[in-house]
Structure 1
Amino acid sequence: MTKSRTEPALSSVDNALQLVRLLAQHRALRLSEVADLLGVAPSTAHRLLNSLRTQGFAEQRSRNGPYCPGPVLEELGLASLNRMDVRQVVRPMLEQLWTATGETVSLGVLEGRHIRFVDGIEGNRTVRVGNRTGVLIPAHCTAAGKAIMAVLSEVEFDRRFAGRSLERRTTASISGWPQLTRELAAIRKAGFAMNVEEGENGVSAVGAAVRDLMGAPVASINVVLPSSRMGTKRVGRELAGSVLEAVAAASAALRDAG
């Protein structure tokens, strides 16, 4: 009798834990996808999702939209990340990117509504951008910041940026929310961000977000160079390939370290 009660309970717990892992991996899942991946009836999948949503492990941002990781799941990822030194884990990828490009490379993290560059290596070319470590710039004016902004959860994005004015640093800075919203959508589609003199005249960059073991963006890896060497979007896309390789390796290293 006890056994018959315990086994279904354990099965339910197992499905719930698998669902947490699936949400962390896929970042967005519809009810039908959850049912297929778990091999359960849609009614069971709906019950599991509702339980996770009640506890903050999942959220549904629109009535018929997909389910995404909730704030509790995001916080668990950040808690694990806080136990390690991101700079130490990502440093080998910065060095590899520096070797591949010869340009200045940097690691950025969000600090409020700004991006703080916490590590970097100065390029080895005669004309180059200096090491950015320690620099603090409004996130929307940088490739580093936009790359992270584009993939923040809706809850976290609103907490940091909703209703805020956009500082204009140069004539190229994005100063209106409609334009920034379009830009962030394009970044999500491409997987990387570009900045041409939006934060500083004469300086351009390409960046992409590094994700933790829960899939949340925690930093960005960036190539920073004089605008004279990034005269076309084609050049930016070529650099993006190297940046994305570094980001993939860094994200994998963070997952392993966590």
Structure 2
Amino acid sequence: MSEKFALNVEEKPVTGTQSIDRACDLLIRVINSEDPVTLSELVSTTGLAKGTTSRILSALERSGLLARSAFGGFESGPVLNQFAVRGGAYTALIGSLTPAMERIADMTHETVSLAVTGHNGIDNIAQVEGSYLLGSRNWVGESVPSHCSAAGKVLIAFGGASAPSTLAPRTTETITDFATLDAHIRKAREVGYAVIRNELEQGLISVAIPVLDSSNKAIAALSVSGPAERITPGDELHIAQLMRRELNQVQGLKQEGAA
């Protein structure tokens, strides 16, 4: 009787934080294991019922956090693997470009940002503040829509991101039709940089250039951002040229070091 009662309690569905705790526990156990972990092993080490464990693992597998090995065990999935690879790559990218970002910030006195293509838009991964007390906000860790981001426009223009399927407005000046966005992308490809004026936030101006790999495909974007009263239309080309010069210097040094 007691054994049957315990089994019924264990098989009851759980909700809220208990479900999350169990999923996290299983995920951590799989990640920390050197070899793929079987369902039976996880049932044994966690004390969870086989049905409960199987349901949680299936959910983690559907989300891409876990995957089945060739022998049927569970191991880290494509989503976790992607973050691991990108995390290491971003550390190197940030380290190599930070000196250039600091020089650009010193010369323009404005905020300099480094962004990459993310899952839901453009992810800001590094930022160097300018000297003005009134500057741009800290964007690191935030994602913004590509169609109203200067970084997003150059990433699309140079093959580093796909054009969005929807163009939701962020301000009254956000581009919301695909023909206009396509024109902006073509211009960015032609001149080598992109600009937003009041498209992401009212009063915010940003100029961005692509960071290109050896095949001239964008892997990231550098941008300078500030208020409209300081970055005028006449400043845009100068800022883009300044960023390109500093970026070329960094990439030239890297190529010399590899030679």
Q: Deviations over 1:201-258 (max 9, x none)?
A: 1211111000123322100111010112123x21212212212213323444565678
Residue of 112, 118, 135 corresponding to 1:128: 135
What is the identity, as a one-letter code, of the residue corresponding to 2:158?
V
Residue of 111, 118, 122 corresponding to 1:115: 122
Q: CA RMSD in A?
A: 2.5
Q: Is the counterpart of residue 93 in structure 1 residue 100 in structure 2? A: yes
Report the equivalent of 2:112. 105
Question: 1:1-258 maps to which residues of 2 (within 5 A)?
Answer: 82=89, 85-152=92-159, 160-161=162-163, 164-231=165-232, 233-252=233-252
* Rg larger in structure: 2
What is the identity, as a one-letter code, of the residue corresponding to 1:230?
I
- 2: distance between equivalents of 1:166 and 1:253? 39
- Displacement of 1:114: 0.9
What is the identity, as a one-letter code, of the residue corresponding to 2:117?
L
Asked if the contact 2:156–2:163 (Cα under 8 Å) also holds between the matched residues in 1, the reply is no
- 2: distance between equivalents of 1:182 and 1:241? 21
What is the identity, as a one-letter code, of the residue corresponding to 2:145?
P
Q: Deviations over 1:96-119 (max 9, x none)?
A: 111111111110101035111100
Q: Deviations over 1:74-132 (max 9, x none)?
A: xxxx99x9496211111111111111111111101010351111001111113211232
Secondary structure, counterpart of 1:207 in structure 2: strand
Q: Give the TM-score taking structure 1 as reference length.
A: 0.61
Q: Give the TM-score taking structure 2 as reference length.
A: 0.61
Asked if the contact 2:136–2:227 (Cα under 8 Å) also holds between the matched residues in 1, the reply is yes
What is the identity, as a one-letter code, of the residue corresponding to 2:97?
V
Percent identical pairs in the alignment equals 24
Asked if the contact 1:212–1:218 (Cα under 8 Å) also holds between the matched residues in 2, the reply is yes
- 2: distance between equivalents of 1:98 and 1:210? 17
Q: Deviations over 1:173-224 (max 9, x none)?
A: 1111100111111111111111111111121111100012332210011101
Which structure would you say has the larger RCO, counting Cα contacts within 8 Å and 6 or more residues apart?
Answer: 1
What is the identity, as a one-letter code, of the residue corresponding to 2:248?
A
